[in-house]
Structure 1
């Protein structure tokens, strides 16, 4: 009986390295912020409508349904070869808090190398005037299994999402100007 128990423990212990390596990807997070000279209400008037992403240079057009209501949808057509699209759904919107949250429901990993993506866009007053705009997201890499190809690994996903956020927020700085130091 002792020998059998010992063999079971030994067998279980030998599987630990396999289990440890087979956990798959971890959730990644990105937060990008910018400060702009315009007051929060002015900035929110530009970015606060879930249906309108004309302020983002990577978005050619946006069509959707149900405005800023929870479960509103939008499909973004990107300004890139082949007119790739991203479909999204809104799950939180507050004009009072100047914030909304959404998630991607459909995108090809060749367009944005992520899965299970959710994002939050918020405009806050900045000490000394102007606004702080924060765009943050959480997601998994585009390849769900171990040993992803380089274009679908964690680094590729982080770089792509950071690039999307930075490009959009840089456009807001261009539109509204940077606050005086």
Structure 2
């Protein structure tokens, strides 16, 4: 019996290891802005105009559409760019969601991402809360990604992108 157990253990140890793909990561950031929802929404509602308030971007260009399927190209300060596509837009609820359409890990270390932006009433009179949340996968979906394209790099980049954007928006609107 002991030999059988040893044989099974050796057999199992020599089986190839089957690694699974990456797991989805998440990021969420919010900020309170001392301005009414209408004023904050007026600044963020044009999907392709994010570079007007986001300091990480050199420029943003798009088709001007605030409807599902609308596209924008974001050019980062390093001159690398990605393309995103609008999935959902609701003027009355002050929210929209979009996804990565064309990836570029040199620009942003995700292979796919979806993001939701929402502007809601804040805690005090005349204030707003802006929330960004995302679900995404790292830039290299292989089993052994380099450090700059692993889960930690993707989480760090998305979180910092949200924080920088929200700070830029607050500075512009207040």
Both structures adopt the same fold (TM-score exceeding 0.5) = yes
Q: Find out whether 1:135 has 2:125 as its counterpart.
A: no
Unaligned runs of 5+ in 2: 1-7
Q: Is 1:115 aligned to 2:114, yes or no? A: no
User: What residue ranges of structure 1 are gaps of 5+ in the alignment?
Assistant: 1-9
Q: Is the 8 A contact 2:103 2:112 kept in 1?
A: no
Once superposed, what is the RMSD of the aligned Cα atoms?
2.0
Aligned-residue offset at 1:17: 7.8
Distance 1:121 1:31 in 2: 10
For residue 102 of structure 1, the aligned residue among 83, 98, 105 is 98
Q: Report what 1:35 is aligned to.
A: 32
- Whether contact under 8 Å (2:47, 2:64) holds in the other structure is no
**Residue 77 (structure 1) aligns with:** 75
Alignment of 1:164 onto 2:157 = no
CA offsets 1:44-70 (integer angstroms, 9 cap, x no match): 000111021111112222221251011
Aligned to 1:5: none
Residues in 2 aligned to 1:25 and 1:119: alpha-carbon distance in whole angstroms:
19
Aligned partner of 1:56 in structure 2 is 54
1:46 corresponding residue in structure 2: 43
Contact 2:111–2:139 under 8 Å retained in 1: yes
1:117 positional shift: 0.8
1:43-99 deviation per Cα after TM superposition (whole angstroms, max 9, x unaligned) = 00001110211111122222212510110111112222xx11110110100011100
The secondary structure found in structure 2 opposite 1:18 is coil
The alignment's TM-score, normalised by the length of structure 2, stands at 0.86
1:67 to 65, 68, 75: 65
